[in-house]
């Protein structure tokens, strides 16, 4: 098992040291990201150098969908198996088959990013301002009238019966 772990480490270091600029752009949320083809290219180059191969499959069980990744050493019989849960994607103006294709592509990209430690700081909650900004309102806060509700301090002694 140590040989495949060493090869995974080498692949991770190769990807970490790659000078890869994010090619994708989310205009709505204003951030750049690694596209599926970039992740595929980074992983394939690293696997070629380490003489390993990755096989991914989208599967389902009683708990729902999950993506698997098998990293196999081409020089030995060693392999590593990884799984990541996913949800069925909802892509507008597509049929069920196209949505499953999108789900497979998306979940494959993220399991590869996880296994090969391809970090995207845009997905890190700590890399952005997470303060909730209260929506502005044109209305003044209203006063709530006091009620005649009895506050029970000791429920057992305040009961009307014994």
Is 132 within a domain?
no
Of 4 and 139, the one with more pLDDT:
4
**Which residues share a beta bridge with 67?**
58, 84
- Cβ atoms within 10 Å, residue 101: 15
Domain range for 21: 2-124
Q: What is the mean pLDDT of residues 5-10?
A: 97
- Spatial separation of the C-alpha atoms in residues 140 and 21, rounded to whole Å: 48
**pLDDT at site 104:** 92
- 3-class DSSP state of 25: strand
pLDDT at 112 over 90: yes
Sheet with 79-85: strands ordered across: 52-61, 64-73, 79-85
Confidence of residue 152 (pLDDT cuts 50, 70, 90): very low
Q: What is the mean pLDDT of residues 4-23?
A: 95
Is 57 within a domain?
yes
Is 51 within a domain?
yes
Is 157 within a domain?
no
pLDDT digits (tens, 9 = 90+) for 16-56: 999 889 999 999 988 899 999 999 999 999 999 999 999 99
pLDDT digits (tens, 9 = 90+) for 50-83: 999 999 999 999 999 999 999 999 999 899 999 9
Of 51 and 92, the one with more pLDDT:
51
Tokens, residue 48 = 């070629």
Is 141 within a domain?
no
């Amino acid at each position: 098992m140590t040989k495949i772990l060493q090869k995974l480490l080498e692949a991770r270091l190769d990807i970490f040291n790659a000078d890869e600029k994010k090619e994708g752009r989310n205009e709505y949320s204003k951030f750049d990201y690694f596209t599926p083809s970039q992740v595929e290219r980074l992983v394939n180059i690293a696997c070629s150098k380490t003489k390993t191969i990755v096989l991914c499959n989208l599967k389902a069980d009683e708990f729902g969908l999950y993506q698997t990744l098998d990293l196999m050493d081409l020089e030995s019989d060693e392999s590593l198996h990884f799984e990541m849960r996913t949800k069925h994607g909802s892509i507008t103006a597509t049929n069920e088959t196209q949505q499953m294709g999108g789900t497979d592509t998306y979940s494959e990209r993220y399991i590869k990013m996880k296994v090969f430690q391809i970090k995207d700081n845009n997905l890190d909650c700590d890399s952005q301002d997470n303060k909730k900004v209260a929506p502005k309102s044109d209305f003044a806060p209203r006063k709530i009238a006091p009620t005649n509700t009895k506050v029970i301090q000791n429920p057992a002694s305040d009961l009307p019966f014994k």
